[in-house]
Amino acid sequence: MQVTYWAEHAWLGDRVEPGVAIEVTDGRITAVRTEVPAPPPGATTLRGLTFPGLANAHSHAFHRALRGRTQVGSGTFWTWRDVMYGVADRLTPDSYFALARATYAEMALAGITCVGEFHYLHHGPGGTPYADPNAMGEALIAAAAEAGIRITLLDTAYLSSGFGNGPGGEPPNRHQTRFSDGTADAWAERAAALKPAGHALIGAAVHSVRAVPADQLTTVADWAKDREAPLHVHLSEQTAENDACLAAHGRTPTRLLADHGVLGPRTSAVHATHLTDEDIALLGGAGSTICMCPTTERDLADGIGPAVALQRAGSPLSLGSDSHAVIDLLEEARAMELDERLRSRTRGHWTAAALLRAATEDGHASLGWTDAGRIEPGALADLTTIALDSVRTAGPAPCHGAETAVFAATGADVRHTVVGGRHVVRDGVHQLVPDVPRELADSIAALSG
């Protein structure tokens, strides 16, 4: 398949160029021509500012059903978790497919072309495996295909409910039995049966140091290393986790991961909110990516992670929408900078270009898509276009399009989403899922308890 897109304006990594022709063959960019004042014959026009497709590096698709429910009253992360368990208890492969398809379609409407799905809801009620032990994961892969986006399924080891007093940790509670394979070896055997597809990669995840006993961390790390696959982990999201880890092991969660070979350049630490100086040095020295999820971290009152210090230490940054309190990677990028401004009372920690890079190229790299996130020959033809004439974006000169995108635009300003050269969202309308709001409403209503 050959197609040419003409971008009215395009962000090419370090600048905005007017009139850019992007030629695509079989899903990859074959040529990028600047100074093209009008659409070439037969080209598809992308009005506004086009940049590489956005990568949502951390998602729990079923959390989309929590939006609104967990905003009533107050509570803590732990009371929020109880509500989350209630939704997880009611999911089946079919209902999970329906919810994930709608959620991933919402992502496409927000300009997201690739999602990292941190997947730990593996088994049936009571922990009984389905006839296909990977039925839930396969449902997510199929949902992403039908929504028209790429996915890295980060199959997650989740074996215990806490550190406990012995090497095996506390057994899973009644909700967590659906998450657990019993041992890391059993997890590895099941995960090995998952197969990549054209739109899907398979990676691994350690849910957290409290959910995978220390003597089984290496098994997960080696599984990912042998496959050169991405490896993600929730890290120090809560101070309670840090305190419990210190009590059980005499070291921080970051040090525990480092001592068991979990850190490295293919590893991404999600949240990394409550870190010591040594933790920051360990993560940066290993070249591990940090995935910040500001809208979730503020929604759950988790805190503000030391993203500036982590990047200075050597960690690339990526972004995720995590619990989907909102699905808007531009808001995540903006929030990372603005949260840091509130904490430090200084401005300008990242340029708009650096924030867009976290949302595009570095996010894709953290998910194993190293050939995405750039508008250049050889890269995957994944593109996002925002309007420059909405009530939020009108006014600034197009040369300031990156600043406009990060500091003013929202997902509602996305007009076009292209994945592998295919026009998935055209003029703000999803081309594969006819009525995304209705599918969201129906799939969430089916889970009401």
Q: Which residues contact 130 (CB under 8 A, 6 or more apart)?
A: 93, 123, 124, 136
The two structure tokens encoding residue 136: 């839930």
The rounded distance, in Å, linking the Cα atoms of 125 and 420 is 37
**Torsion angle, alpha carbons of 170, 176, 177, 183, to 10:** -50
Give all strands of the β-sheet with 112-119 in edge-to-edge order.
54-59, 112-119, 150-157, 200-206, 231-235, 267-271, 289-292, 317-319
Three-state DSSP state, 3 = strand
Contact 251, 259 (CB under 8 A): yes
Give the pairing type, strands 16-25 and 2-11.
antiparallel
Write out the chain's pLDDT in tens, 449 residues: 899 999 999 999 999 999 999 999 999 999 999 999 999 999 999 999 999 999 999 999 999 999 877 666 666 666 777 788 888 899 999 999 999 999 999 999 999 999 999 999 999 989 999 999 999 999 999 999 999 999 999 999 999 999 987 777 899 998 899 999 999 999 999 999 999 999 999 999 999 999 999 999 999 999 999 999 999 999 999 999 999 999 999 999 999 999 999 999 999 999 999 999 999 999 999 999 999 999 999 988 899 999 999 999 999 999 999 999 999 999 999 999 999 999 999 999 999 999 999 999 999 999 999 999 999 999 999 999 999 999 999 999 999 999 999 999 999 999 999 999 999 999 999 999 999 999 999 999 999 85
As to burial, measured by CB atoms within 10 angstroms (0-12 exposed, 13-18 middle, 19+ buried), residue 74 is: exposed
The Cα 178–Cα 158 span in angstroms is: 9
The per-residue pLDDT for 448 is 80
Contact 97, 64 (CB under 8 A): no
Q: According to the model, what pLDDT value does residue 267 have?
A: 98
pLDDT at 78: 63
Please name every residue paired with 271 in a beta bridge, in sequence order, or none if there are none. 235
What residues act catalytically? 271, 322
Predicted local distance difference test score (pLDDT) of residue 127: 94
Q: What is the pLDDT of residue 1?
A: 82
**What DSSP assignment string belongs to 371-433?**
T-S--STTSB--EEEE-SSSTTT-SS-GGGHHHHHHHT--GGGEEEEEETTEEEEETTEESSS
Contacts of residue 182, defined as CB under 8 A and 6 or more positions apart, other chains included, come to: 159
Q: Is the pTM of this model over 0.95?
A: yes
DSSP structure string for 292-339: E-HHHHHHTT-----HHHHHHHT--EEE--BTTSS--HHHHHHHHHHH
pLDDT reported for residue 86:
82
User: Is 268 within 8 Å of 319 (Cβ atoms)?
Assistant: no
**pLDDT at res. 60:** 97
